[in-house]
Amino acid sequence: MSHRRPKSPNMQNYRPQLTSVLSFGHRLSGVALSLGAFGLAGWLMAGASGQDAFGSAQALLLSVPGRIALFLVTLALFYHLCNGVRHLVWDSGRGFELRAIYAGGWTVVGTSLILALALWTWWPA
């Protein structure tokens, strides 16, 4: 053998499927929620340190980028919650038929979108 064996591509070539995409989404939404927790702590600290600081924090959150970030965090929250329930079902040994895997996956996608949009539509702001 004249040189090292190459490695066949994995993620660069493998087809995105509901199975893997939702799993990556679960990990990503978990990361987003950790970052969101820092934001929440910052917001509370601003509120505790006086009216001026709270005013600037509110202005930041209610700006367009702030609202987009908040929406993404709520979407991550509901997605992580719904997919977490899906994982609990699997942990009980149920729902492993391919049809159940796909039906459950799409249900999680739909439910988390509906919950996030409903929160933003009806939450008294």
Contacts with another protein by CB under 8 A lie at: 1-20, 23-24, 87, 90-91, 93, 96-99, 101-103, 106
Q: Which two tokens stand for residue 72?
A: 């993404």
Based on CB atoms, which residue is closest to another protein, 7 or 64? 7
Burial class (CB in 10 A: 0-12, 13-18, 19+), 76: buried
Q: Which two tokens stand for residue 74?
A: 């709520």
Cβ-defined contacts of 122-125 (< 8 Å, 24+) = none
Residue 63 beta carbon to another protein: minimum distance, rounded to whole angstroms: 28
Based on CB atoms, which residue is closest to another protein, 12 or 51? 12
Based on CB atoms, which residue is closest to another protein, 4 or 51? 4
Residue 14 beta carbon to another protein: minimum distance, rounded to whole angstroms: 6
For residue 90, report the phi and psi dihedrals to the nearest 5 degrees: -60, -40
Cβ–Cβ < 8 Å for 39, 73: yes
Residue 3 beta carbon to another protein: minimum distance, rounded to whole angstroms: 6
CA distance linking residue 21 with residue 123, whole number of Å: 30
Residue 23 beta carbon to another protein: minimum distance, rounded to whole angstroms: 4
Based on CB atoms, which residue is closest to another protein, 42 or 95? 95
